[in-house]
Structure 1
Amino acid sequence: MLKAVSLGPGDVSLLTPAARQAIEEASVVAGYKAYIELIPAEMLEGKTVVSTGMMGEVDRAQQAVEHARAGCKTVMVCSGDAGIYAMAGLLMEVLESEGLLEDVPFEVIPGVAAFNAASALLGAPLMHDFASISLSDLLTPWERIEKRLHAAADADFVIAIYNPRSRKRSDHLREALDIIGRYRDPDTPVGMVHKAYRPGQQVEAVPLETVDVEKVDMQTVLIVGNSATRLVNGRMLTPRGYHRKYAL
């Protein structure tokens, strides 16, 4: 049995009962080192832990599959939701490439995604249609990311931005915001959430034209409002449209 298990944003209170049960029942726990550290130590006692660093995704996926293939109850833990920019897809690809999709039972345990956590801390910015775009061009060409930014902004989606800025990609966020700015008013609210529900959490909402990209890193999620999004007492609100149909 192999499970991709979602840890949520980091706080143990947001670890779902299903995720907790999957980890407790597993004999092998695999994951990125920083995500393994989000799991309470007592939940890992007596288990085999497969931990790799950044860029070790394929290696740990292959190791997890081998453990599951050998009959071990194995979980791959992921921050946020395992099926959103995480390891569920890669595990399926490895199982597919090795012809094990029918032989190794596979399950995805859902969780609180990063944009869910950021949205909750910011207020209610995702109340209408939204798009999620990662600015990492490690696996996706930047030209394709630019097209998606143009399309989402032109369609007036609220836009959640993952992987916004790293040392090697220090200019991508500025470029992305400039693209969005062609379709949005300068005062469009932009929420920036750093380390949601973890020590060091920072939450801020500012006008699009004043976003300081130097304050953003890979542990930050941004939510750019649509044409209707506004700030209400410091929080972001994207109206669903009730005010046009009902008396509020």
Structure 2
Amino acid sequence: MTRSSVLLAVPLLALPALASADFYSHRYGGISVGSVEQQNFCRSADSRINRFDTDAQDVSGRSCENGSEVFKIYSGWRWTPNLAVEASVQQLQDNRLGFTLSNDQDEFLQIEEKVKTRLVTAHAVGHLPFFNGASFFAKAGGGYWMSELSSRLQGELLFPVVVEDEVQEQLAAVNGRDRRADNGFHWSYGAGISYRNENRWTIRAEWESFRNVGSDDLRGAYDLHTLSLGVSLHF
């Protein structure tokens, strides 16, 4: 090996050592906020609502709004420059939808629905340090989603009423609420970039994907994608 090759190899061989020279094993806890794309929720909900559209009744006044914000609490342990484990709880902004059922007998029912979703996830995280505490990272894991569907119903329906010894059907106002819940397993993966400030705190920006959240009882299953910015403290 020539002298110039040796001189070039020395700093290259020293890079891994330099990357980990100031590293220390630490546990951390933090919060993050960001945006969420609840992909295909409205499509799944619309497909379910279509089942109410029959020859005997019509569906009108459809509306659907995806929640666009996410809040996360997370905690983990990074014991080497390259490896960490992490758990998180995420609260998604509610999804909302509404529609009206009606028929040619002047019956109608306005239905407003709200879906709350929370995710509990565990990840294995791999880091690739590249400059003074900064690193790229990727994660993969799974967990449970927990969702609740709240419904409010208002309208007028025909009920049998006895009038002068004769049974007749008359329209009467109805107003009610319904609530149901479900949960299930989801897979998750993501990637991002972080900056670690010695033994104090870390900031990071990340993208995460969650697969098969929801069920047929809660207006269908769909995928989630989030973008968030977070800060954590070391301990």
TM range, smaller chain: under 0.3
Give the TM-score of the pair, scaled to structure 1. 0.17
Larger-gyration structure (1/2): 2
Bigger helix fraction = 1
So what's the TM-score if we normalise by structure 2?
A: 0.18
Hey, which of these two has a bigger chunk of strand by percent?
2
